[in-house]
């Protein structure tokens, strides 16, 4: 029996475990390096957070650690915890800012504390080398993240740290040149997936006076990223899929989230093993692929991705063409067209103008639920599957892809279903997952407000920004912390998901600063 997310048309149902961009090499992951030691540490929960071990640095070469483990593991009195602490340097915690400051001063003081440099990788560690300094989100997130960084860069520019924003853009260009794409983060165990493609928006941010010139300067990187997302498009027949590209039964090309591995996520190994065990009528590799694809989306996790929103074991990310991903790819295609035109490459400009126009039309038609009055994800093989309203439905407005009538209808839907006391709800689903109600997230507040503003819904855009920023400020006054997510119903940290709410926090700092410099400027 074939489940909803494992279908006959999928060409990679038995894909190799690791298939990242054939022309590029990938660093070994902790599971590959440490084998049974890795599995034992993660499954017995030596650490409460599975990310602790995969971020640890070995004190000697991995092969020696592995040999010692095999020699000692069955000896009387062997302690796995003692062994790990003896052989690995565990990740530390970020320093605190110090005395309580005003919130804007606190954010400015945080930027230097979140800066990292890692130009030379050590054998056996998961952290990838990068040529320039970069800003991390904070807390357990000790590395460069892809889509987080765009929203962080908004605040860096607002706070006069354009130098750091330019360093981060250079690091992302380096990752594309090195790996053929931008990974989820600068960790070896995330080299099999990307995240929402915001590189073109980073370029635009840093070339605000002449975006086309920026796109021309970064044209090779933009085209390489597009090629990563579209790999396999030339061989697809209608109804088939290959990695991140899908062809609808009518032959329209769209994109989905994917991961080139179908094993448990190394940073959440135990959680993924248990989720697969709870799944009914599905193979573990199918469940793990969909969990990993959910992580590529950045929305890890949400009932948005599940056949039964209340049951993560029904996750079916690869069965869906997400509205936000396809809107971002339309934006990327338009950026390439503008950059190619500025460079004098008329053939490429014409090709990508046509690609962007075709995708815009699909978004305005196939992704629009006329019966409900909102954009939604598309089950690319089953058009009758009614996907729920989520904050992702505002990304077509953010990128100028919606019609005015669609934007007006979306504004009404936001007012009716997604506007909370403290800003924009992620979804109207209450599932216990962190990318569902009652949580609100900085990037979604930004894209919603900017999208609504673009279509003339200025009062609603300002209202979302003001509600969210006021809550962030109140929680800061109560706790002294800036957090990764917030409860949109009450003045408190957001919750749910696989780990405790983290503070720092890159994209919250960035969006708060950008709102205060823009929509909410006195």
Query: Does pLDDT of 22 surpass 60?
Result: no
User: Which tokens is 356 given?
Assistant: 């962007």
Which H, E and C letters describe 290-323, residue by residue?
HHHHHHHCCCCCCHHHECCCCCHHHECHHHEECH
Q: Tell me the average pLDDT across 498-517.
A: 96
94 is catalytic: no
Quickly state the pLDDT bin for 25 (edges 50, 70, 90): low
Q: Lowest mean pLDDT: which of 120-124, 228-232, 506-510?
A: 120-124
Which H, E and C letters describe 342-368, residue by residue?
HHCCHHHHHHHHHHHHHHHHHHHHCCE
72 is catalytic: no
Query: Residues 230, 236, 238, 240: is their CA dihedral positive or negative?
Result: negative
Are the beta carbons of 520 and 445 closer than 8 angstroms? Answer: no
477 C-beta neighbours (distance < 10 Å), count: 12
Q: What is the pLDDT of residue 7?
A: 35
Quickly state the pLDDT bin for 96 (edges 50, 70, 90): confident
Across the chain, mean pLDDT equals 94
Q: Lowest mean pLDDT: which of 120-124, 180-184, 206-210, 424-428?
A: 120-124
Helix then strand count (H, E) for the chain reads: 19, 15
Residue 456, phi-psi category: left (phi > 0), alpha (psi -120 to 50), beta (remainder): left
CB neighbour burial string for 134-169, b if at least 16 within 10 angstroms, e if fewer: bbbbbbbbbbbbbbbbbbbbbbbbbbebeebbbbbb
Each residue of 386-414: pLDDT tens digit? 999 999 999 999 999 999 999 999 999 99
Placement of tokens 């989720």 in the chain: 275
Q: What is the pLDDT of residue 97?
A: 81
Q: Lowest mean pLDDT: which of 10-19, 41-50, 286-295, 470-479?
A: 10-19
Are the beta carbons of 505 and 113 closer than 8 angstroms? Answer: no
Q: What is the pLDDT of residue 160?
A: 97
Placement of tokens 């992580």 in the chain: 295
Are the beta carbons of 235 and 242 closer than 8 angstroms? Answer: yes
The domain locations on the chain are 1-19+233-388, 30-89
| DSSP for residue 409 | H
User: In Å, what is the CA distance from 72 to each residue of 20, 43, 66, 68, 438?
Assistant: 35, 19, 10, 6, 48
369 C-beta neighbours (distance < 10 Å), count: 18
Query: Does pLDDT of 167 surpass 90?
Result: yes
Placement of tokens 């505002």 in the chain: 394
Quickly state the pLDDT bin for 18 (edges 50, 70, 90): very low
The helix-helix angle for 269-278 and 284-296 (nearest 10°) equals 130
CA angle 424, 429, 431 (to 5 degrees): 120
Nearest to 256 by CA among 183, 300, 195, 321: 321
Quickly state the pLDDT bin for 24 (edges 50, 70, 90): low
| DSSP for residue 388 | P
Residues 6+ apart with CB under 8 A from 281: 1, 3
Query: Does pLDDT of 382 surpass 90?
Result: no
Nearest to 292 by CA among 274, 320, 328, 268: 268
How buried is residue 198: exposed, middle or buried, by Cβ count under 10 Å (0-12/13-18/19+)?
Answer: buried
User: Which tokens is 509 given?
Assistant: 């700092």
SS3 218: coil
Quickly state the pLDDT bin for 381 (edges 50, 70, 90): confident
User: Which tokens is 355 given?
Assistant: 């690609």
Phi/psi for 455 (5° steps) reads -105, 15
Residues counted in the chain: 522
Looking only at Cα atoms, what is the longest distance across the chain? Answer: 72
Phi/psi for 212 (5° steps) reads -60, -35
Q: What is the pLDDT of residue 383?
A: 83
User: Which tokens is 382 given?
Assistant: 């089953």
Q: Tell me the average pLDDT across 261-289.
A: 97
How buried is residue 298: exposed, middle or buried, by Cβ count under 10 Å (0-12/13-18/19+)?
Answer: buried
Q: What is the pLDDT of residue 143?
A: 98
Measured between alpha carbons, how far is 196 from 194 in angstroms, rounded to an integer?
7
| DSSP for residue 187 | B
Query: Does pLDDT of 10 surpass 50?
Result: no
Q: Among residues of the chain, what percentage have pLDDT more than 90?
A: 91
Element (H, E) at 486: strand 485-487
Cα 493 off chain centre by: 20
Q: Are strands 320-321 and 134-135 parallel, antiparallel or unpaired?
A: unpaired
Query: Does pLDDT of 519 surpass 80?
Result: yes
372 or 26: which leads in pLDDT: 372
Gyration radius of the chain's alpha carbons: 22
Q: What is the pLDDT of residue 23?
A: 41
Q: What is the pLDDT of residue 410?
A: 98
Of 484, 487, 498, 503, which residue is the catalytic one?
A: 484
Q: What is the pLDDT of residue 9?
A: 34
User: Which tokens is 341 given?
Assistant: 């035109």
Are the beta carbons of 398 and 331 closer than 8 angstroms? Answer: no
Q: Lowest mean pLDDT: which of 96-105, 112-121, 212-221?
A: 96-105
Of 300, 333, 377, 463, which residue is the catalytic one?
A: 300
Quickly state the pLDDT bin for 2 (edges 50, 70, 90): very low
Nearest to 460 by CA among 470, 451, 473: 451
Query: Does pLDDT of 17 surpass 80?
Result: no
Quickly state the pLDDT bin for 93 (edges 50, 70, 90): confident
H runs (alpha helix) in 480-505: none
């Amino acid at each position: 029996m074939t489940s909803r997310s494992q279908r006959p048309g999928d060409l990679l149902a038995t894909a190799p475990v690791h298939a990242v961009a054939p022309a590029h090499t990938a660093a070994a992951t902790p599971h590959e390096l440490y084998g049974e030691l890795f599995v034992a540490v993660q499954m017995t929960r030596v650490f409460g957070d599975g990310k602790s071990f995969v971020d640890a640095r070995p004190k000697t070469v991995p092969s020696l650690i592995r040999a010692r483990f095999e020699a000692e593991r069955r000896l009387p009195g062997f302690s796995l915890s003692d062994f790990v602490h003896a052989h690995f340097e565990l990740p530390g915690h970020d320093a605190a800012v110090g005395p309580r400051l005003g919130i804007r001063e606190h954010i400015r003081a945080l930027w230097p504390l979140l800066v990292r440099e890692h130009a030379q990788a050590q054998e056996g560690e998961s952290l990838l080398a990068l040529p320039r300094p970069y800003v991390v989100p904070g807390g357990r997130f000790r590395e460069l993240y892809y889509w987080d960084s765009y929203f962080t860069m908004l605040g860096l520019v607002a706070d006069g740290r354009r130098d750091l924003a330019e360093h981060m853009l250079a690091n992302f260009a380096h990752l594309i040149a090195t790996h053929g794409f931008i990974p989820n983060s600068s960790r070896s165990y995330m080299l099999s997936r990307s995240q929402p493609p915001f590189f073109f928006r980073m370029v635009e941010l840093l070339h605000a006076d002449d975006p086309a010139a920026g796109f021309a300067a970064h044209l090779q990187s933009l085209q390489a990223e597009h090629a990563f997302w579209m790999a396999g498009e030339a061989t697809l027949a209608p109804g088939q899929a290959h990695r991140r590209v899908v062809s609808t039964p009518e032959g329209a090309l769209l994109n989905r989230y994917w991961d080139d591995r179908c094993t448990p996520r190394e940073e959440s190994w135990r959680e993924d093993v248990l989720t697969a065990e709870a799944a009914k009528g599905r193979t573990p590799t199918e469940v793990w692929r969909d969990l990993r694809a959910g992580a590529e989306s950045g929305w890890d996790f949400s009932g948005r991705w599940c056949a039964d929103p209340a049951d993560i074991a029904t996750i079916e990310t690869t069965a869906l063409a997400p509205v936000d991903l396809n809107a971002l790819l339309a934006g990327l295609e338009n950026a390439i067209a503008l950059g190619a035109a500025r460079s004098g490459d008329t053939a490429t400009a014409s090709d990508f103008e046509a690609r962007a126009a075709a995708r815009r039309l699909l978004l305005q038609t196939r992704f629009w639920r006329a019966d409900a009055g909102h954009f939604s994800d598309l089950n690319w093989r089953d058009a009758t599957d009614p996907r729920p309203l989520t904050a992702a439905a505002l990304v077509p407005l953010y990128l100028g892809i919606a019609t005015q009538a669609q934007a007006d209808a979306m504004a009404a839907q936001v007012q009716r279903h997604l506007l909370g006391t403290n800003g924009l709800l992620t979804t109207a689903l209450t599932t216990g997952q962190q990318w569902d109600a009652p949580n609100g997230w900085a990037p979604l507040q930004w894209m919603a407000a900017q999208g609504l503003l673009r279509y003339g819904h200025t009062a609603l855009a300002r209202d979302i920004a003001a509600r969210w920023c006021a809550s962030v400020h109140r929680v800061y006054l109560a706790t002294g912390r800036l957090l990764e997510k917030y409860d949109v119903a009450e003045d408190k940290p957001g919750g749910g998901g696989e780990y405790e709410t983290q503070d720092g926090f890159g994209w919250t700092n960035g969006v708060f600063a950008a709102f205060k410099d823009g929509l909410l400027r006195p």
